[in-house]
């Protein structure tokens, strides 16, 4: 499911876009300034092109009329002082000017595109980094509660929408605006009455175009959200390929995907149905304007008020200006799509994390590892209650096993200890400090976790272990692997420590993954060791080896072991039994197995 944050839906249109541009694109303004400069050159060469057309047209008319008349006067005026005096030379001049102007326009357009794209790409790097930082630094609950596909989509699709908006703006806005203004000025100089007609007709088109742009934003936002769902669907389908095959779920999966794709194209077409209307509207208005002008000018040529040059020039000018007006008109639509994406960026970047360091947070140098849960209650963000007034204590250096039925809240205890979530009531303390008063990094630095779902990264096995302590030497990495009884199998793999673990460690067996994760935790050498079913996938012999090593390693640190297996639990100094989010029993294996309680039941169930 994709979280739909309502907070930013209330942001006024385009506010988040301007904010985004200010924060991430403005720092690269030099590229855009250079791009804008070339945009102006591009625009001016287009206007110059129309000027030359007028000149050539007038030259031709002048020749046709035997060298006398208005057209000749205009040509003479335009060439005064150039030393050109034959009609032939004037035509050649016109031809070469057109080549020179189009060449200038082509080159400056290329430069404009390159400069603006460079600026935009740099801005996007910054947007993506900030998004990723916010996800990495932000609440664990946020990432845990949403599909990863939704987030992946933000990095690809939203960024594409922002890129399009930024490029359209950087490339087209100045070029179009300068071209249109230049054309208007020249038109006014040529014939102010004509210019007025154009000025009146065109703006009529902009009203509906802007209205369309506004409604595109809502649709675009929805479409982008749904792209996230499709991304999730595809990545989930590929990740669970084994289950899909084993359970014969191909048809089910394919149907689900097809529905997602169909919905995707429906939403896309919904956006397009509006976006695609923009150009035709402008086209119609443009056609009407051209028809009106042609009628007007032909009438005036017949009356001798306008020349053939004027007509050619005006057609040229309109040819140059029309696409630019169209681009200006559709810029609001593109900006709205960009704004929808920017909104989604700020959904992530703007969300304040709820688990934060207090301003006067204490940094622990080296924790002793005394742990206390004091009447702690906790529910997950989706409302699932997990702990109900849980209380227990662990002294520094003690090894305590946490046992209890599945769903009792054991892993949740670790989640709270690491401060991935804050309890709803009660207090979790380390060495007498409420962990809310501790600097979260120093708290997490004091712990080494092997979680129930051993996640490895798509890197070498050696690198995966080294994540326990970044920068650890190879010897330390290998020593940790030996302690976790992993060294042997790693050496047997092709490539040894440099063998690739694969995505989520899928090149390794379940038990091998666990031992690599254990080696990582051992390498961390933290005062508090948290093992959540860390040896559940090992065979008895291998587990015994790991346990012997761990017993040694655990001597001078606090160790919490969540386990179902008796052999793992028995070795602990003490056992805390959890049931339905509460600690119901506590004591040694010997003491608890004689109580007629939850532990006895768990033990008996395993022995039988």
List of residues contacting Mg ion (CB under 5 A): 411, 452
Please check whether residue 500 is in contact with residue 459, taking contact to mean a CB–CB distance below 8 angstroms.
yes
Restricted to residues 436-465, the positions that interact with ligand ATP (CB under 6 A) are: 452
Burial 182-205 (b: 16+ CB within 10 A, else e): bbbebbeebbeebbeebeebbeeb
Choose among ligand ATP, Mg ion, none what residue 144 binds, the Cβ cut-off being 5 to 8 Å by kind: ligand ATP
Q: How far is the CB of 408 from ligand ATP (least distance, A)?
A: 4
CB-wise, 336 or 412, nearer to ligand ATP? 412
CB-wise, 260 or 409, nearer to ligand ATP? 409
CB-wise, 367 or 534, nearer to Mg ion? 534
User: How many Å apart are CA 55 and CA 265, to the nearest integer?
Assistant: 51
Choose among ligand ATP, Mg ion, none what residue 384 binds, the Cβ cut-off being 5 to 8 Å by kind: ligand ATP
User: How many Å apart are CA 557 and CA 548, to the nearest integer?
Assistant: 15
Q: How far is the CB of 581 from ligand ATP (least distance, A)?
A: 7
One of 307, 412, 547, 582 touching ligand ATP (CB under 6 A): 412
Question: Burial level of 552, CB count in 10 A (0-12/13-18/19+)?
Answer: exposed
Q: Structure tokens of 417? A: 């200890």
The per-residue DSSP string of 92-104 comes to: HHHHHHHHHHHHH
Q: How far is the CB of 581 from Mg ion (least distance, A)?
A: 13
Helix (H, G, I), strand (E, B) or coil at 307: coil
Q: How far is the CB of 410 from Mg ion (least distance, A)?
A: 5
* Count of positions on this chain that bind ligand ATP (CB under 6 A): 14
One of 253, 411, 535, 559 touching ligand ATP (CB under 6 A): 411
Alpha helices by DSSP H, 138-191: 140-144, 148-153, 159-167, 174-190
CB-wise, 56 or 413, nearer to Mg ion? 413
CB-wise, 227 or 569, nearer to Mg ion? 569
Choose among Mg ion, ligand ATP, none what residue 6 binds, the Cβ cut-off being 5 to 8 Å by kind: none
Site for ligand ATP contains 423 (CB under 6 A): no
Q: Structure tokens of 405? A: 């039925």
One of 144, 189, 551, 591 touching ligand ATP (CB under 6 A): 144
CB-wise, 334 or 569, nearer to ligand ATP? 569
Site for ligand ATP contains 239 (CB under 6 A): no
Site for ligand ATP contains 265 (CB under 6 A): no
User: How many Å apart are CA 148 and CA 503, to the nearest integer?
Assistant: 15
Site for ligand ATP contains 408 (CB under 6 A): yes
Choose among ligand ATP, Mg ion, none what residue 380 binds, the Cβ cut-off being 5 to 8 Å by kind: ligand ATP
Site for ligand ATP contains 410 (CB under 6 A): yes
Helices 29-64 and 308-349: crossing angle in degrees, nearest 10, is: 170
Any bridge partners for residue 393, and if so which?
372
One of 212, 271, 281, 386 touching ligand ATP (CB under 6 A): 386
Site for ligand ATP contains 128 (CB under 6 A): no
Q: What is the DSSP letter of 353?
A: P
Q: How far is the CB of 533 from ligand ATP (least distance, A)?
A: 7
User: How many Å apart are CA 482 and CA 35, to the nearest integer?
Assistant: 59
Q: How far is the CB of 144 from ligand ATP (least distance, A)?
A: 5
Please check whether residue 234 is in contact with residue 151, taking contact to mean a CB–CB distance below 8 angstroms.
no
Helix (H, G, I), strand (E, B) or coil at 393: strand
Contacts of 281 (CB under 8 A, 6+ apart): 205, 208, 209, 212, 329
Q: How far is the CB of 578 from Mg ion (least distance, A)?
A: 10
Q: How far is the CB of 253 from ligand ATP (least distance, A)?
A: 24
Residue 491 vs residues 139, 500, 505, 572, 598: alpha-carbon distances, Å: 38, 13, 17, 31, 43
Q: How far is the CB of 409 from ligand ATP (least distance, A)?
A: 4
Q: Which residues of the chain form contacts with ligand ATP (CB under 6 A)? A: 144, 380, 382, 384, 386, 404, 406-412, 452
């Amino acid at each position: 499911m994709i979280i739909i944050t309502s907070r930013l839906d209330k942001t006024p249109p385009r506010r988040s876009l301007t904010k985004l541009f200010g924060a991430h694109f403005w720092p690269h303004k030099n590229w855009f300034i250079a791009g804008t400069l070339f945009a102006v050159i591009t625009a001016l060469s287009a206007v110059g092109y129309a000027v030359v057309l007028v000149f050539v047209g007038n030259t031709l008319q002048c020749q046709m009329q035997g060298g006398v008349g208005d057209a000749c006067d205009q040509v003479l005026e335009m060439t005064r002082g150039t030393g050109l005096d034959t009609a032939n030379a004037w035509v050649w001049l016109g031809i070469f000017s057109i080549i020179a102007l189009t060449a200038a326009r082509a080159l400056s357009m290329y430069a404009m595109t390159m400069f603006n794209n460079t600026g935009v790409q740099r801005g996007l790097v910054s947007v993506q980094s900030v998004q990723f930082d916010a996800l990495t630094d932000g609440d664990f609950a946020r990432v845990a509660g949403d599909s990863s596909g939704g987030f992946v989509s933000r990095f690809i699709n939203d960024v594409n929408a922002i890129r399009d908006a930024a490029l359209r703006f950087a490339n087209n806005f100045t070029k179009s605006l300068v071209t249109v203004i230049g054309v208007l000025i020249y038109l006014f100089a040529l014939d102010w009455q004509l210019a007025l007609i154009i000025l009146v007709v065109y703006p009529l088109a902009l009203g509906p175009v802007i209205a369309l742009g506004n409604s595109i934003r809502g649709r675009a936002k929805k479409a982008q959200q749904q792209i996230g769902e499709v991304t999730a669907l595809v990545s989930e389908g590929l990740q669970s390929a084994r289950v899909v095959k084993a359970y014969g779920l191909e048809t089910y999966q394919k149907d689900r995907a097809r529905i997602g794709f169909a919905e995707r194209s429906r939403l896309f077409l919904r956006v397009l149905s509006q976006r695609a209307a923009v150009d035709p509207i402008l086209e119609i208005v443009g056609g009407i304007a051209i028809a009106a002008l042609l009628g007007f000018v032909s009438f005036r040529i017949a009356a001798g008020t306008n020349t053939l040059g004027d007509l050619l020039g005006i057609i040229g000018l309109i040819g140059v200006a029309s696409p630019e007006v169209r681009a200006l008109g559709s810029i609001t639509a593109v900006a709205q799509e960009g704004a929808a994406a920017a909104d989604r960026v700020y959904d992530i970047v703007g969300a304040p994390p709820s688990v934060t360091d207090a301003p006067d947070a204490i940094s622990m140098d080296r924790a002793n590892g005394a742990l206390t849960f004091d009447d702690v209650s906790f529910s997950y963000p989706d409302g699932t209650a997990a702990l109900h007034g849980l209380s227990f204590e662990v002294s520094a250096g003690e090894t305590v096993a946490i046992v209890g039925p599945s769903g009792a809240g054991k892993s949740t205890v670790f989640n709270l200890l690491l401060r991935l979530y804050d309890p709803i009531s009660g207090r979790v303390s380390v060495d007498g400090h409420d962990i809310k008063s501790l600097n979260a990094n120093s708290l997490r630095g004091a712990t080494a976790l092997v979680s129930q779902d051993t996640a490895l990264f798509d890197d070498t096995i050696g690198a995966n272990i080294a994540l326990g302590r970044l920068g650890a030497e190879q010897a330390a990495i290998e020593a940790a692997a030996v302690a976790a009884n992993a060294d042997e199998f790693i050496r047997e793999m092709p490539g040894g420590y440099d063998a690739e673990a694969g995505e989520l460690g899928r090149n390794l067996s379940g038990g091998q993954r666990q031992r690599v994760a254990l080696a990582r935790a051992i390498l961390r050498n933290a005062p508090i060791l948290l093992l959540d079913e860390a040896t559940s996938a090992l065979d008895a012999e291998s587990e015994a080896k790991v346990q012997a090593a761990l017993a040694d390693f655990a001597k001078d640190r606090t160790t919490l072991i969540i386990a179902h297996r008796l052999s793992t639990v028995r070795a602990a100094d003490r056992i805390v039994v959890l049931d339905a989010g509460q600690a119901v029993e506590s004591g040694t294996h010997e003491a608890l197995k004689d109580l007629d309680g939850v532990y006895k039941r768990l033990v008996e169930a395993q022995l039988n």
